[in-house]
Amino acid sequence: MRPLSSGDVPLDESGELKVSQTSYDYTRPYWDQIGATIVGRRVFDMTEGWDGQP
């Protein structure tokens, strides 16, 4: 199961992350408070550098 793609409500502007309405209501307010995300080399490599789109 892919928890960030198994719902029907887009979690972000890309539309690639989709969750249930309950998960959206819980997660989105928290995400809106985040000013920056710091990741290390491992996450960068796992995401293949986000194809240049952080």
User: What is the pLDDT confidence band of residue 1, given thresholds at 50, 70 and 90?
Assistant: low
Query: What pLDDT is stored for residue 3 in this prediction?
Result: 67
SS3 assignment for the chain: CCCCECCCEECCCCCCCEECHHHHHHHHHHHHHCCCCCCCHHHHHHCHHHHHCC
Whether 19 contacts 4, CB under 8 Å: yes
pLDDT tens, position by position, 20-40 = 999 999 999 998 999 888 888
CA distance 4 to 15: 11
| Whole-structure pTM value | 0.59
